[in-house]
Amino acid sequence: MRSLALIVLVSVLGCSRSVSEPSGDFKPATAEPLPPGPSKLETVDETVGTGREAKTGDTVRVHYTGTLMNGKKFDSSRDRGDPFEFKLGEGKVIKGWDQGVVGMKVGGKRKLTIPSDLGYGDTGSPPNIPGKAGLKFDVELIEVK
């Protein structure tokens, strides 16, 4: 019986305390919203290559750096010193890459700005890419096989 009285007393005292409002410095624990991405794939050739042109079905090797729309880098083959290889049009990469690399020539450098529906969509690629994120890539075409 004593323990029941103690529980009731602690409960009453706990409920009677007032809760203060957070200070003006309070910030919710949510990620900062990202700037909106584009509504369609955007490509800008910084350097037009002079080598073989990449077509759907070709295997390509590229160096790339990927950033969110706010400029935060999330991946870079350059930082690893290891070019990335994939077959165009096979669906092994995000759609923005399958579409955005086609037409590049070896030696070319292209900026891709990719809407979320051609990137990682509503779910993103946690923990580095949030859902609905537009993406930017700097891509250099090294080889076409």
Catalytic residue check, 120: yes
Residue 30 has pLDDT above 80, yes or no: no
Instruction: Give the mean pLDDT of the chain.
Output: 84
* Among candidate residues 130, 137, 141, 144, the one with its CA nearest the CA of residue 76: 137
Annotation marks residue 122 as catalytic: no
Active site residue 138: no
By the 8 A CB rule, do 96 and 36 touch? no
129 is catalytic: no
How many helices (H) and strands (E) would you count in the chain? 3, 6
Listed ranges 10-19, 31-40, 84-93; the one with the highest mean pLDDT: 84-93
Report the CATH number that the domain containing residue 82 is assigned in CATH: 3.10.50.40
pLDDT at 38: 81
Asked whether the predicted pLDDT for residue 5 surpasses 50, the reply is no
Strands 59-68 and 73-76: antiparallel
Q: How many CB atoms lie within 10 A of CB 112?
A: 24
Q: Is residue 65 part of a domain?
A: yes
The answer on pLDDT for 32 being more than 70 is no
In a domain, 117, yes or no: yes
pLDDT tens digits along 94-139: 999 999 999 999 999 999 999 999 999 999 999 999 999 999 999 9
Per-residue pLDDT for 21 more than 70? no
Catalytic residue of the set 114, 120, 129, 142: 120
79 assigned to active site: no
**Strand blocks (E) in 26-83:** 42-47, 59-68, 73-76
pTM: 0.76
Closest CA to 42 of 113, 125, 135: 113
pLDDT at site 35: 74
User: Is 114 a known active-site residue?
Assistant: no
Output the pLDDT for position 52. 98
Residue 20 falls inside a structural domain: no
Other Cβ atoms within 10 Å of 26 Cβ, number: 7
What range defines the domain where residue 78 resides? 42-144
